[in-house]
Amino acid sequence: MLGWLARNLVSRLLLLVVVSVLAHAVVHLAPGEASEVDPSNPRMKPEDVAKIRAAFHLDKPIYLQYLYWVRDLMTGRLTSFKDGQPVLSRIWERFLNSLPLFVLSTVVIWTLSFPAGIYAALRRGSLYDRGATVVAYLLISVPSFFFAYVLILWLVNALGVPVIGLRTFGAEAAGAFTRAMDALWHLAIPSLMSAAVGIAILSRYVRAQMLEVLSFDYVRTARAKGLPEESVIYDHALRGALLPFVTMFGLLLPGLIGGSVIIEQIFAWPGIGRLSYDAILARDYPIILTVNFFAAALTLIGTFLSDLLYAWADPRINAP
């Protein structure tokens, strides 16, 4: 067990280093650099550009730029090209804004997808199953930003209800309860829009997996023994149907960093997805590389946890 853990961790650490090197190379080999973001600025003289390049080590070879980035990241001295603010503090601030959005949308997806998918599998061919299929494929086919814009236009123009940003302008002067309800409203709408496509996709996976498991011999044997249908479905079939979703659950962790860039842009939500988008436009290498690094780290941690959970969930697999 300890040997497997050690080998697994070492291999993932090496993979993380490789990913960071490749990400650094791709970002720096792209056309342009941070000192060229606004070449039309009349106050930007050649000597000013040279100072910027020297301050952020852009005048060094690419491998030295990578080593400087690693050093500054590990020592907490990494700063943004755009405003000179510490990168880790900016990412942490935006991460805390994205966290409730991610948690609420994830809870909604996993809470609604399984009952919807299981019920559709048990009522295969019924009116509910056909209707759920049509709605699911509609949500998958139509871009989420289209529904988001339609919802914003309806709420703002028709009902006069603000939904943009973390809170309504001027709500700070209201009472504590009103502020809490306003913050919850602004959180709920983008979370539900972010969850809509996830519910459609995951419920289809659940339905397909349940239909497959219900045809297995051990499920038919459980029914032949006279067990209650609830026991057959939830104690026998559901556990086998959950196995593929163990891997899926581990891949949720990168969402903590990646966030929902499109939803955060549409709803002006100051989260980490929007920070990444702004950093790409500004060629803010330290933020781009650091966000990519943490996303890769969370992906490797998630797959590691998936391996452990899969061994626990599947009785046919011995613990590592």
125 lies in which domain range? 93-270
Ordered per-residue pLDDT tens for the chain, 320 residues: 677 778 888 888 899 999 999 988 888 777 666 655 554 555 666 676 777 777 777 778 888 889 989 999 999 888 888 788 899 999 999 888 888 888 888 889 888 988 898 889 888 889 999 999 999 988 888 887 788 888 888 877 777 777 887 777 766 767 777 778 878 888 888 888 888 888 888 889 889 888 888 888 877 887 788 778 777 787 777 777 777 777 777 677 777 666 578 888 888 888 888 888 888 888 888 898 999 898 888 888 888 887 777 766 665 554 44
Cα distances from 289 to residues 65, 74, 87, 214, 269, in angstroms, run: 12, 13, 10, 46, 22
Looking at the domain assignment, is residue 189 inside a domain?
yes
Q: CB–CB of 257/294 below 8 Å?
A: yes
Looking at the domain assignment, is residue 17 inside a domain?
no
Res 41: pLDDT: 54
pTM value?
A: 0.79
**Which residues, other chains included, contact 319 with Cβ-Cβ below 8 Å and sequence gap of 6+?**
1, 311, 312
Number of compact structural domains in the chain: 1
Looking at the domain assignment, is residue 68 inside a domain?
no
Looking at the domain assignment, is residue 135 inside a domain?
yes
CATH code at position 152: 1.10.3720.10
Looking at the domain assignment, is residue 197 inside a domain?
yes
Looking at the domain assignment, is residue 116 inside a domain?
yes
Looking at the domain assignment, is residue 257 inside a domain?
yes
Looking at the domain assignment, is residue 14 inside a domain?
no
